[in-house]
Chains A and B, each alone.
Chain A
Amino acid sequence: MSDRPLTKNIDLARGPLSLRDYEAAGGYRGAKSVAGLHPNEVLERVKESGLKGRGGAGFPTGLKWSFVPQGPESEQQKYLVVNADEMEPGTFKDRLLMEGDPHLLIEGMIIAAYTIGANKAFIFLRGEYVLAEKRLARAIAEAKEAGHLGTNLFGTGYDLDIVLHTSAGRYICGEETALLNALEGKRANPRAKPPFPQVSGLWGKPTIVNNVETLCNLPGILANGVEWYQSLGSGGDYGTKMFGVSGRVKKPGCWELPFGVSIREVIEGHAGGMQEGYSLKAFLPGGGSTDFLTPEHLDTPLTYSAIGELGSRLATGTMILLDDKTCPVGMIGNLMRFFAHESCGFCTPCRDGLPWVDAIFRDLECGKGSAKDIAILHDHVGYMGPGKTFCALAPGATAPLGSGLKLFAEEFEQHLVHGACPYL
């Protein structure tokens, strides 16, 4: 039993395993094991395992599934949708999983779809992930050929069809209801909740939207048991997690590590520490929409709660590092440009607030900023904050903005005083 259930088959040099090799390596054991189980039993196991969604919010997966109405009275058509629209800045963990071991995702989808009673599943794939598309398509074809997809899977009488959909692109499609709208061919605006997708999702049918990495956890849980799964990880979060580091480190990358590993171990161990001549100034622990942490937090264990206590979020677990030679104002400005461009345009604070913030950063960069602009930035942290907007996009953007304004007040000031970026 591997302690790296997500990546044990991944070898970037050789490419992904074919179906035969994947099965030889113990694959589809998890999926086959559900054949003897009632969907409720699978659900119980997933609940017991304590698996939390890996898309960023960390919501318990079993609990989410349990909201799907079941029984003869319920809507019989249900859907599973895989959120593979990985667009969070600095995040590339799902890409690694899909390119490296596509059958693992398919196996996870079979387990999830069986549990919730969906016989149609969609993979909503980021359009730019061309290689993942190729490999997933091939793996799906192989699985169909082998009878792992189609009708009467593993003799259960249960059918499953998987559709691979490549997205036309937009960050907002990571928001599950916007994703559903996009999948239906509508504008990718988030939907009003309630109704939640578990009750009324894709084309109004009960729908579960899960992240790629979440689903990839399922085969291991089913094949090796809850106890094994919980033995991985510590600090209240179970199993392993894909952690990534980008920035000026020696070996940027993405690794599967147990929950509870310290930030220092990831940055200094796996990523090999900072490059020569650079030192760590601050970092975003879980992608572009999390609050900055600083080197004093390096010994914090990577769990949802520990990072939460610091006022940031573990989110996708992929860190973006800021070094001492890079302008923090430029970094935040770059993020703001991204978020402003990716706003769906539905609600006012996000649609009209972010472009203003972006425009201020552009002015600051070239020394045209003013003290008034900094005040406006501060205003926008509250104005676009949680509860003020229709979805979490703008509040996400205020995380690096709000924490950055506090942390790098001096750098902001310098931009005004020097009339230019001091890092140039």
Chain B
Amino acid sequence: MAKITVDGQCYEVDPANNLLQECLSQGLDLPYFCWHPCMGSVGACRQCAVKQYRDEDDKTGTLVMACMTPVTDGAILSIEDDQAKAFRAGVIEGLMTSHPHDCPVCEEGGECHLQDMTLMSGHNYRRFDKRKVTHRNQDLGPFLNHEMNRCITCYRCVRFYNDYAGGKDLSAQASHHHTYFGRFEAGTLESEFSGNLAEVCPTGVFTDKPFSEHYARKWDLEAAPAVCTGCAIGCNTSPGERYGSLRRIVNRYHSDINGYFLCDRGRFGAHYVNSDFRLRSAKDSSGMTLSSEEASIAFARDTQKRLIGIGSPRASVEANFALRRLVGEDNFYAGFSDSDYEAMQVLLNSLQDQDFNCPSLKQVESADAVLIIGEDVTNTAPRMALSLRQSVRVAAYELADKARIPQWQDAAVREIAQETRSPLCIFATGATRLDDVATLRLNASREDLLEAAEALFVRLSGDSPHYREGVTGRTMQAVEETYAALLAAKKPLIISGVHAGVEAMRLASNIAKRLAKIRESSCDLVLLAAEHNSVGHALLLEEKNSLGSAFNRLKDEGCDGLIVIENDLYNRAPTSIVQAALKSVDTCIVIDQIETPTARHASLVLPSTSFVESANVLVNYEGRAQLSFQLSPCPESLKPVERWLNVEGSESTESLIRRCSTELAPFSELDKCLPHPSSVVPGAKFPRMSHRASGRTAMNADRNVHEGKQTLDDNSVMSFSMEGIQPLRDATVLGSSWAPQWNSNQSISKFQNEVNGALKQRNSEIHLITRNSHLDYYPSYSRTEGQSDEHKYLLQAVQQIFGSDELSARSKPVQSRMSDCYIAFNVESAKQLGATTGDSIELQDTGVELTLVVRADVPDGVALVYPGSSATGLSVNRFDLPKAAQLSRLDKANSEYGLGVSSLVVDDRVDVEVTTGAIL
């Protein structure tokens, strides 16, 4: 620790940081723009100038930029010095010369860092009376607005988009005061993390476009801490609500998970809750709408029968637990496909095995060698891909340390590192969106990848791998290089996941276990689950109760019907099997938030709440159970799944969670994710509304001029009003961050122990799984089938960030980025079939037709199939696809009902006409 004096006050600070960061960590107010807590310093805006004195005798001092000045022990500084204050006001004056001052119509207004810093700097009287510089704006697609005239040229957008997130289609253009931040030409921003620009931008250049469609000021938004339902990562979000509709999602800082950033699926996918895809009322088999009471009666009548229950990885822990209680554990079945369920067993085993550590995203960022086997992380768990992009910088930080360049000197560290990257080895079929930072890519069919992974395991075991005939030297070299990289690493990380398949996960476990033995300490292993509560659901299941066995029960007439919660069975099994199963019973109760093909077969459909209308607990890929708070009052027609099921204790989320922790061993600690009683003041609640919320007396005046009673929330520590304990003090829950003088999301530093540290507020979470086993290696992998028919293509399903997740696929902004189901193969195959991107391709003998996207990197003999989404556009059931098929081009025009494939962003896409026949 070092001691510094700021304006006469002494502070103990970390000498590894810069002055700005340490001043903010100490809670001091010092304005800044270009510095970002996790992107470091570049010294562009010159806003954070402070006075530094040589020693106590130095009375004049020198102006220094706090963000560019390392902490030195004994440093004497002044923030309040007149010259420093005048300079900071001058910087604002300069930044403001061409700013349009359109705060009243600007969506950033009220949470604008530029407004805050302007006020903080003390600049108020405008002297500039010359012509302003103006710019033309671009259409950047469905996610973001662009208003360049507001730009203050802090370079944060390009530093985030390009340097941090690896985007390629946003850049700083032109120079001097004409500097322009945009795309080369108007068009949709391609990065999966583009939405963060709305938060990274300190003013209103990039703003949330879906939000502007039904805009409200930040202070008018009800906010509560929530957890993203987009994938298994469990990013923390802060949803904003007004007039009963969800308006937007912004990041909610979590030091170990998402930090300051979300992916675009998470940010824009949540709009499904407002969509027409939502089930809003109960219906019977004829489609007749039922009142809530009628529905409850109907449900109670049905539950007299012998029913089985099918749970869901996208339903909360409480919902699954309630269903399990209602039907009994023997009758409670997996909501996973059988193959996914097998994969989930491997995942659960890995979480209990002492040889492994399942790293948080923050830990992923510090891995110094990564191997990804088969999982397309950018499309299945996007936020982790952003962390992996940071992990490759570990080598850069080492170089910087050697050159004595502090890690926060962002541009200097990048300069010294150049293309030096820590190993990121990707074993994948076709191009992935991480290839640009990968140090090694093994591109082959799934079977070939698995064989290579097996060879790597053998190599790590000290033997020489036995390669099948026909394995290329490149594969062998990839195995050798990966082997060397993993052995040399201090903190290796192996990643695979459910989408990569059970074999890939077993191999990843074997490799990690072998590494753990070699290292004599645990090895980092991530096995990604597919959905936001996959782990929570799996933990509630009896191992034998697979979905297949549920279908068998239905067929064997061992029961009268089934209850399906928040699940579309057509996403879990072949169409024919699902149809047969649903036809074989009279009673099929579906409880869901959204309309699904399964719900259309139901004898009783009950509408459940989304994460907005009820609290719920979700367990992420690490086994981290997190409480997502209810955001807005629940409409009468909707109920949380557990309340429809009406089991003992289901009157509140809290009571059900407590019951779950007493009854089920894996969940014994679950109640610890609830707000700790000691932090709750009896009778006082945490308000969801800000203390500046407006219109409370007028909001419902169109219906009734009398001010209604505030909706009460008896089941939560939060209230639907503005009264209560403001989160700034020692509160437990932080719905939306705000501090005096800090209206923007930059206020988060006031809630952190130190910049980038944990929240002073406890996170409402608990790690469920204790590691208490040492499992054996899985049996070695051997190829199941021989070489396939050479006229046939091996079909491999792929995921897309926009479309592969059931809920977000029903969000309007996400839908405008989705594509139809497609098939992808390489240029050579396209030539053979005489086909080009956009053509229709038929899988022979199946009747399945798919749109072609020619992708240069797909290996020979392989076709990738993206099955699309049942929400919109053309889709297929991926379980209906054969393992291999002969392909032919169909001579017909594309369907006019589909979404097409034009919005698809993949790196190896080939859109040009492929010449057929003889090559010239």
Contacts and interface: CB of A to CB of B under 8 A. Distances in A.
Interface of A: 170, 187-188, 191-195, 199-200, 203-204, 340-349, 351-356, 359-360, 363, 372, 376, 379, 383, 387-390
A241 B405 CA distance: 37
A193 B415 CA distance: 10
Contacts of A387: 62-64
B901 interface: no
A199 to B, nearest CB: 7
B172 interface: yes
A200 B416 contact: yes
7 contacts: A192-B68, A341-B176, A346-B44, A356-B128, A359-B130, A359-B131, A383-B90
Contact of A199 (B46, B130, B403): B403
B544 interface: no
Contacts of A347: 43-46
Contacts of B418: 203-204
Most chain B beta carbons < 10 A, residue from A351, A363, A387: A351
A353 B175 contact: no
A195 B399 CA distance: 11
Interface in B75-110: 87, 90-91, 94-95, 97-98
Contact of A345 (B47, B63, B175, B409): B175
Contacts of B176: 340-345, 351, 354-355
Interface string B149-191: 0001101000000000000000010111111000000000000
Contact of B416 (A204, A349, A390): A204
B411 A192 contact: yes
A343 B175 contact: yes
Given A349-B91, A351-B153, 13 more contacts: A191-B412, A194-B404, A194-B412, A200-B403, A200-B415, A345-B174, A347-B43, A348-B153, A352-B97, A355-B133, A355-B177, A383-B90, A387-B63
Contact of B44 (A191, A199, A342, A348): A348
A176 to B, nearest CB: 13
Most chain B beta carbons < 10 A, residue from A344, A360, A363, A390: A390
Contacts of B128: 356
Nearest to B97: A352
Contacts of B415: 191-192, 195, 200, 204
B833 interface: no
A204 B417 contact: yes
Interface residues of B, number: 43
B127 interface: yes
A192 B177 CA distance: 21
B578 to A, nearest CB: 55
A348 B96 CA distance: 10
A356 B153 contact: no
A352 B95 contact: yes
B625 interface: no
Contact of B177 (A193, A352, A389): A352
Nearest to A343: B176
A170 B175 contact: yes
Most chain A beta carbons < 10 A, residue from B46, B155, B404, B415: B415
Interface string B546-564: 0000000000000000000
A353 B176 CA distance: 10
A341 B172 CA distance: 17
Nearest to B400: A195
B130 A356 contact: yes
5 shortest A-B CB distances, which residue pairs? A352-B94, A204-B418, A345-B179, A359-B130, A343-B176
Contacts of B409: 192
Contacts of B98: 352
Interface string B409-433: 1011001111000000000000000
A405 B484 CA distance: 66
Contacts of A341: 176
B42 interface: yes
A424 to B, nearest CB: 22
B179 A351 contact: yes
A348 B45 contact: yes
A343 to B, nearest CB: 4
A348 B91 contact: yes
A278 B94 CA distance: 40
Contacts of A360: 130
Interface in B47-84: 47, 49, 62-64, 68
Nearest to A205: B418
A158 B90 CA distance: 54
Nearest to B49: A388
A387 B91 CA distance: 14
B504 to A, nearest CB: 36
B602 to A, nearest CB: 59
